[in-house]
Structure 1
Amino acid sequence: MNQGRSESSIAFGSIFSIIAKFRSEHYSQGYPEIKRRQAEGKQLASLNSVLPRQSKASLRFLLWSRIHLPKNSSSFHSVPVATSFLIFVSKKLLPNSSITKMEWSQQNGQRLYGPPVECNLKLQQGTEVFVSNIPRACTEFHIYSIFENAGPIYQVRMMMDFSGTNRGYCFVRFFEKQHAYKAIHVLNGFEIQKGSKIGVVMSLDNCSLHIPKIPPNKSEEDVRKEIYRVCNDVTNVTVVPHNDGKNNQSCLVDFTTHRAASIARRLFLSRKVKLWDQCCFVEWAQPSDK
């Protein structure tokens, strides 16, 4: 047992040496905020006792890919993310920390930091901001550390491309509208790194889809059942009859979040989701549709 712990400590020690080498390479290239990150790097030693075994195993693979995989590999690009994650959680997981634990996942071309663990709050619209002109090497943890100064954050959604770098923009959702407005007022034009200023505006946060053509022989109950069958996170379905004398009708579908609506829209447009086994056209709902 003690031998196993010793081997684990040695393996994790070698990981830290690789991290140090990785960070020194970036410093020589002018990696931003060097002094601050160097100070935070000293806290990495505490991770050996607080990181779960699964995180350590994932880290070993990521660092192995740094050495053995070609630079055009998608796994290679995930190593800076792992390093940023370690630096970030080294602050958040220290003893006596009062920071709320957050979920961290990747799905549908997005990396998600948040929501807080065991958070069941229903958020209002108007709490999300759109952040543009983000440096491609920037991570969701860096964005979180900047925007948390405006108020408590519910979630950061970083849009990713196939190479493993961000697409230059992300979304930050707060718990309260006032904090979203504060972020716009304070952080729009913020110089995230030398010569690069981010743009911060209110997100459209559209949570509704419009389906302009619904078969005239379908009742409102038929439409509601079919929508709930093929879509997730639906809150309301409204059938709107047309005044054209042809019994045509359309449908408005409300979702819990913009993200849920966006996923449903993408599935409809890819023809992976059909209504009554027929492909249908969908679009973002406009105020005139309601």
Structure 2
Amino acid sequence: MVSPARLQALETWQKENQVTLSQVNGQRKYGGPPDEWEGPVPGSGCEVFISRLPKEVFEDLLIPLFSTVGPLWEFRLMMNFSGMNRTFAYAKYGSCGQAAEAVRRLHGHLLQSGVQLCVRHSTEKRQLCVEELPATTERPDLVKVLRCLSDGVEDVSLMSGMAIKGVTACVVYDSHHAASMAKKTLREDFKKRFSLTVSVKWHYSHPKVSSLPVARELPLHLRRPPSTTATFNKAVGTPVNVPPFPNPVGTPRLPQKTLCLLSILQQLCGTMLVNTLEFSPSKLDGHVCASYKVQLPNVLHPVSGSLTVRLSDTADKTLLEVNNIVVGQVLALLYPGTEGLPARAC
């Protein structure tokens, strides 16, 4: 049982700060985004994993603490049926730089006497294994079905062999949230829609960067739209009509500064074509915004994005920090599952 005093403290904090918490699927959520949020939806690498929490520590202590690093887009505290937390939580910021700063400042933070927090980058799993699909399953047809049954499907690869029953699909989603929602529903959807019994699990492989195959297929949203097929495998069901994959539109700019990208990507993808980096002031004191564009060989559109980092004591250190984040984001896009791996460009 949770002590009445702790529950009262949480309720008082919510009322005084007009904070809304919603409990869904074993977790209590703040934000996603909060009402006062300004800015885009955070991308990969913006979330931290918090563990070693005492079971009666709640959002009234944790959200103010993690907000000292920067505005929170979302905070999720894992809960059990007794009303106590499950000793871990997730905090998502607006940039990779803020997440890195949270790890630097709050890992080992003394929360209570004898209680030090463990704070590290969240892996934000985005890959599922769908097992025991029919042996006649073909990838283009399965992609269409999965896009019909779940949101955010980014890539699909098939595996088969003596040790695999039927066909196993590795499905990559564009966010951890999309993958989590799909994990909850896909098994029942396949059973109801197609009378197929499949199993759906998290895909836990974390390949080393040096061992990634150069010939791996790019995510579907970076390729030219695939041609549609008229039917889906009879073992799975009737045809499913879905719109083609969208083509993202880059934001071309004249090069202002060439970034030394990325010996690691050069090994994987061949010679880089154009790497553009532009800086602009940030609303956060002591930070800088950076936008980048990376043109990869044989890719229809440039990979572009933006990030916010804390200014270092020298320009070279700031540039190196930006460089490492860009490497990580591009690698994560090309090779899902590499999130959190060190990405040194030079």
Do they superpose with TM above 0.5?
yes
Residue 278 of structure 1 and its aligned partner are, at CA, apart by 1.9
Give the TM-score, by structure 1 length.
Answer: 0.59
Coordinate RMSD, CA, aligned: 3.2
Number of residue-to-residue matches in the alignment: 203
Q: 1:87 to 1:255 in 2, by over 3 A?
A: same
Matches within 5 A, 1:189-204: 189-204=108-123
2:50 aligned residue (125, 131, 134): 131
2:158 maps to 1:240: yes
Moved more, 187-196 or 115-124: 115-124
Q: Which runs of 5+ in 1 are unaligned?
A: 1-71, 94-101
Partner amino acid for 1:223? L
Partner Cα separation in structure 2 for residue 220 and residue 182 of structure 1: 41
Q: Cα deviation per residue 1:111-145 (whole Å; 9 max; x = unaligned)?
A: 00112238683321111111111111111232110
Q: 1:153 to 1:132 in 2, by over 3 A?
A: same
- Where does residue 258 of structure 1 map in the other structure? 176
1:84 alignment counterpart: 10
Deviations 1:148-186 (A, max 9, x none): 111121111100011011011111111111111111111
Deviation per CA, 1:90-120: give whole Å up to 9, x if none.
1x35xxxxxxxx6531100100011223868
Checking the alignment, whether the CA contact within 8 Å between 1:144 and 1:156 is kept in structure 2 is: yes
Which residue matches 1:165? 84
Aligned identity (percent) is 25
Q: Report the alpha carbon displacement of residue 287 of structure 1 after superposing the two structures with TM.
A: 4.6
Q: CA deviation at 1:238?
A: 1.6
Shift of 1:83: 3.6
TM (norm. structure 2) is: 0.51
Distance 2:152 2:85 in 1: 29
Deviation, 1:267, is: 4.8
Q: Is the 8 A contact 2:154 2:174 kept in 1?
A: no
Are 1:153 and 2:72 matched, yes or no? yes
Deviations 1:170-228 (A, max 9, x none): 11111111111111111111111112111111111111212244323333343133323
> Residue in 1 aligned with 2:29?
112
Question: Does the aligned pair in 1 maintain the 2:14–2:20 contact within 8 Å?
Answer: no
The alignment partner of 2:190 has SS state of coil
5+ unaligned residues in a row in structure 2: which ranges? 208-215, 217-334, 336-346
Deviates most, 220-229 or 185-194: 220-229
Task: Decide whether the 8 Å contact of 1:239 with 1:249 is kept in 2.
Answer: no
Indicate the structure with greater helix content.
1
**1:140 and 1:198, CA in 2 relative to 1: closer, same or farther beyond 3 A?**
same
Compare CA radii of gyration and give the structure with the larger one. 1
Inter-partner Cα distance in structure 2 for 1:226 and 1:147:
40
2:190 to 263, 274, 286: 274
